[in-house]
Structure formats: structure tokens, C-alpha cells
Amino acid sequence: MTPPPVKYQIILEGVDCVGKTSILNKLKDVYENAIIIKQNRPFETKINVLDNIQEDAKTLYKYRILKENRPILYDRMTMTSELVYGKLLRKNKIINLPEIFDITDANLFKSPTNKHFNSKLVILVDEPNNIIKRFDNKHIKIEDIANIQHEYIRLYSEVKKQRHSDKVKLFSLMSEEKFEELYGDLKIKDVKFTHRKLLTLDLLEEMRGKKYETQEWETYRS
């Protein structure tokens, strides 16, 4: 079964091994014409980051003007990742949120050429104990994962507060109780609590702008 065509862009962000690539591959199984753009470049040096941000802007523009109805799925983006990793890896960020809005408003969040165009920044979090089991790097610590996720949740809050409350979503694979225990200090509202078997469907609903209650969508629940 093929779902109706959709022109949509998702930037899926989160700590390494939270499950971004797996969920985007599942979305591509549904929308076979989807394009996945994977950001797998280093954040350590300022030169790399600046080059990557320029590439991000070009890529966003390229797909904004695409006339085909096909989802564009970003597995990270330097612009958004830099707000988290730049602060943690280098103690400073070389781009700030208003500067990112200048780029994303022109190429992602607003599209005057296609009224059916939609887009979201989706941040995914999970229990640090679950994430660390998937890491090959034995030097990573649970506290590192928790700190990175803390910054991603703070980013979610800032985007909602400053500009685009309807364009950013926070999905938690941990329980509401665990989220409150670990990140309650941030006083975050509007978190979507889900689990892996339902996450594909959750994102499909975001892309289509409505819920799928009919039996034909049961295939996307696993």
C-alpha cells in the first residue's frame, strides 16, 4: 500500500544511537520516493562546521524548490546539531538560533512556492541507559548522553519560545515518569511520549497532518 504523495521535510535530531537512522529508513519504506540526507560530518573544528552550514543552506534551498511531492528526511543537520555539540565539544557555538532562523525561514519553515509544503524539526530522546547499550565507543558515559539530551531538550524549548512553536516536536521514547526524573528541571510541556513500535506512525501522522485510525495503517505500527 502506498500512502498519498506528500511534500514534507523533517530534520530529525538527537544524540548518537537514539534511533534516528532506523526510523528514517522505516519512513522510506513507506514513502519509497523519499530522499534521506545523512549528516555524518565532524563537529570538532570551526572550519568544518562553517563549510557544513553553507552546504546545509544550499541543500535546503535545492529541495524547497523541488516540484515533486516527495519527503525530504534529514538525519541531522549541522546547523541544528551545532547548537548542541558546539557548546559541549568546544564550549562555544559558531551560529546562534536567530541566524539559523534566517536560513530556515527562507528555505524550510516557509515556502511561498508550494502551499502544501510542510516541515518540522523533530527531536528524539530516550533513556540514557537504553542509548548507551548501542554505543561502540566504550568511553562514552551515561552522564555524557544525559547532558547532550539536556541540551537538545533546551533547544526544543528555545525554538518554541522564540519563533516556531508549531514547527518543532519533541518525541520521548522514555516514560513520562522517567522524563520528569531526568529533565524535570527544564519544565518542558507538549512532549509526545511514544515507543519504537508507534514512532513510525507518529511521524507519518505529523507528515500528513492528521491521525490514521483505519485498519489499513496498522502495517506502519511495527
Helix (H) or strand (E) holding 193: strand 192-193
22, 59 contact by CB (below 8 A): no
Q: Is residue 13 part of a domain?
A: yes
User: Is 72 among the domain residues?
Assistant: yes
Judge whether 151 and 88 are in contact, CB under 8 Å: yes
DSSP β-ladder status, 35-38 and 8-13: unpaired
Q: How far apart are the first and last CA of the chain?
A: 15
Contact 139, 32 (CB under 8 A): no
pLDDT digits (tens, 9 = 90+) for 128-176: 999 998 887 667 788 999 999 999 999 999 888 876 677 889 999 999 9
The pLDDT assigned to 167 comes to 80
Residues 165-207: pLDDT tens digits? 778 899 999 999 999 999 999 999 899 999 888 888 888 887 7
CATH number at residue 46: 3.40.50.300
Cα four-point dihedral sign 82, 83, 85, 91: positive
pTM value surpassing 0.75: yes
Express each pLDDT in 25-48 by its tens digit. 998 988 888 899 988 665 666 767
Q: Residue 45 belongs to what domain range?
A: 8-212
CA distance 36 to 38: 6
Q: Does 106 map to a domain?
A: yes
Cell of 167: 514547527
The structural domain count of the chain equals: 1
Q: In this predicted model, what pLDDT tens digit does every residue of 109-136 receive, in sequence order?
A: 554 444 445 778 899 999 999 999 888 7
Question: If you ran DSSP here, which 8-state letter would residue 109 be given?
Answer: I
What CA–CA distances, in Å, run from 189 to 95, 120, 161, 172? 26, 17, 12, 12
Report yes or no on 1 lying in a domain.
no
Is 122 a domain residue? yes
DSSP 5: P
Q: Which range among 73-77, 95-99, 134-138, 177-181 has the greatest average pLDDT?
A: 177-181
Find the helix packing angle between 46-64 and 78-89, rounded to 10°. 160
